[in-house]
Structure 1
Amino acid sequence: MITLDLLTFDPGLKAKSPAAFAAEVTECVETSWDDGADVVLLPEFTWLGLEPLVEPKDLRRVAEVFWNELFPTLKSLLQRPDKAVVLGTAPFWDVEQGVLRNRAPILLGDRVLHQDKLHLTPWESAFTPGTEQVLWEFGGLTFAVVICLDIEIPETSARLRGAGVDVLLVPSATETILGVERVDRCASARAVELGCVVGVSHLTGRAESELIDQNVGRTAVYLPSQAAFQKTPRWEEGEIVESGRHKQRVRIDSRSLEIMRRMKQETNPSLLERLSPFDVVKK
């Protein structure tokens, strides 16, 4: 059994410095871990709350401060055996390519991984999309981080099909209820299509940043609609909120996933051996 905490985060906190902002985020993660969580998920663009605290106030500078000044300390403080955290996302300056990425740092004990956003919204014009979807193992389960718009793209599900993914973690940031609905409704579809657990965490509140000036969101979790999960609530969505920090705790039972995958006679799209080829004909 793995315990997952989905955390909303309000980047408009009145921190006096980047280090103070990072300390607030660290406290959120450590509080969840101390309370029994194994994995913690923070929202997309959590670290754009640094923008009003740096000079010049731009994405390149936020990237520099986060990755060069704050991240080494975060790695040290959040290096716990048998614990994991997805620290939302932060701008990352890719020196080799000379481009900005929207990157999610992932800490797994003493390991450090990352996931870049693969599909960008029209207002993310300063960023360049990533090129690969990373899978990682934790607690005997296979995880993937799928960032905001990426969960809305059917090709994401098609590419993950057959990869044995057990849990999708979706950090998100949206400014309207419609954005929340798009992300969450597609997250539910991915849970059905891939036969996996999908946890979503949205950004909330207001911040002095063009990209995240206002945000609404919630936490949500979706499970497969299969017999192994029949006695379990298969979707649980928190109330949509405009500000503040909120937590939803999820307990992931690997046995239910194992039982589901052994039930070969049950209608289950995630167990189909291959997609049936067909033509699209317009008449």
Structure 2
Amino acid sequence: MIVDLLTFDPGFHAASPTAYADEVIRLISDSWESGADLTVLPEFTWMGLEPLIKDETKQRDVHAVISDLFWQTLLPRISSRLVTEEKAVVMGTVPFEEAASGLIHNRAPILVNGKLLHQDKLHLTPWERAFSPGKTLHLWHFHGFKIAVIICLDIEIPEISSCLRGQEVDLIICPSATETILGVERVDRCASARAVELGCHVVVTHLTGKAHSELIDENIGRLAHYAPSQASFRKAPRWTETDVFDHGVHQLRIELDTKPLEIMRRMTVETNPSHLGKESAGQFSIFQIES
């Protein structure tokens, strides 16, 4: 499976929300036409719509307006242009307002063979006050890979990794948005740890550039791929990190194969934390030593 990881700069000039969506569609289409099977965009890709809807946000919350705009108006256009068999895209994230509760989630729209899936962010940063956390981590299949999308801060939460133990997930996709090198390092260093402890590939895409949006006013990041540090991966690059970018669209293309994962999972005499599985979780106690 060929995977294209893209940074995205939401500060580019677009004459309208439709023009903004068309530029995202162009990037995805170009990726697919050049050979990618799966394309990944960063967290908050669609918050760049904010400057284009200023008049509408005087009476309503900006996240609710973007939710309506994307899911009701732009997504049908996007889906109709990207209905392609054997192709998939994680379109970054965008606010999603629940009709019944009014709660807003930071949601990743995912198109797989023309079918719409999604993943909500489960843990929120202090500045994501407008959002409510999601409740479910979804697993899905594409080109023989079992895949999970884990959004930004969620990759830093070990309890999520613990929940995935024993699931034999093959690929974790992490769309992210960070404004400092420290955020980039936290996400990427934890992504590398997930690859080791779960025995899977992990890829990261960061947002870049400046936008007229309080949530994503400044962004830096890079593209990264991490593989397990096991014998079946000895002859292949086990981690690839690009330079850190502060603007523009950049691409990292990687090719993934399920065979090294299958070999690794059969090698039960090799030291491998992913072999411990679910049954090993919680088999110890922590005692407080009184002084």
Scaled by the length of structure 1, the TM-score of the pair is 0.98
Question: Corresponding residue for 1:8?
Answer: 7
CA distance in 1, matches of 2:41, 2:114: 19
User: What letter is aligned with 1:199?
Assistant: V
Alignment of 1:61-210 (within 5 A): 61-210=65-214
What is the number of equivalent residue pairs in this alignment? 282
User: What letter is aligned with 2:189?
Assistant: R
Question: Corresponding residue for 1:235?
Answer: 239
Question: Corresponding residue for 2:287?
Answer: 281
CA distance in 2, matches of 1:109, 1:73: 16
CA distance in 2, matches of 1:82, 1:110: 9
Q: Shift in Å at residue 253 of structure 1?
A: 1.0
Question: Corresponding residue for 2:30?
Answer: 31
Aligned-partner SS, 2:245: coil
Q: Which runs of 4+ in 1 moved over 3 A?
A: none
Question: Corresponding residue for 1:41?
Answer: 40
Scaled by the length of structure 2, the TM-score of the pair is 0.96
Question: Corresponding residue for 2:56?
Answer: 56
CA distance in 1, matches of 2:114, 2:10: 27
Structure 2: 5+ residue runs without aligned partners?
A: none
Task: Decide which moves more: 239-248 or 51-60.
Answer: 51-60
Question: Share of identical aligned residues, percent?
Answer: 57
Structure 1: 5+ residue runs without aligned partners?
A: none
CA distance in 2, matches of 1:192, 1:97: 39
Alignment of 1:234-273 (within 5 A): 234-273=238-277
CA distance in 2, matches of 1:56, 1:209: 14
Q: Shift in Å at residue 275 of structure 1?
A: 1.8
Q: Shift in Å at residue 56 of structure 1?
A: 2.5
What whole-Å deviation, never above 9, does each CA across 1:107-147 have from its counterpart, x for those lacking one? 01121100000000000010000000000000011011000
CA distance in 2, matches of 1:84, 1:179: 27
Q: Shift in Å at residue 97 of structure 1?
A: 2.1
Q: Shift in Å at residue 282 of structure 1?
A: 2.6
Q: Shift in Å at residue 272 of structure 1?
A: 1.2
CA distance in 1, matches of 2:29, 2:87: 10
CA distance in 2, matches of 1:237, 1:282: 40
Aligned-partner SS, 2:163: helix
User: What letter is aligned with 1:56?
Assistant: E
CA distance in 2, matches of 1:246, 1:193: 29
Aligned-partner SS, 2:280: coil
Aligned-partner SS, 1:56: helix
Aligned-partner SS, 2:182: helix
Q: Shift in Å at residue 59 of structure 1?
A: 1.2
User: What letter is aligned with 2:207?
Assistant: L
In angstroms, what is the RMSD of aligned CA positions?
Answer: 0.8
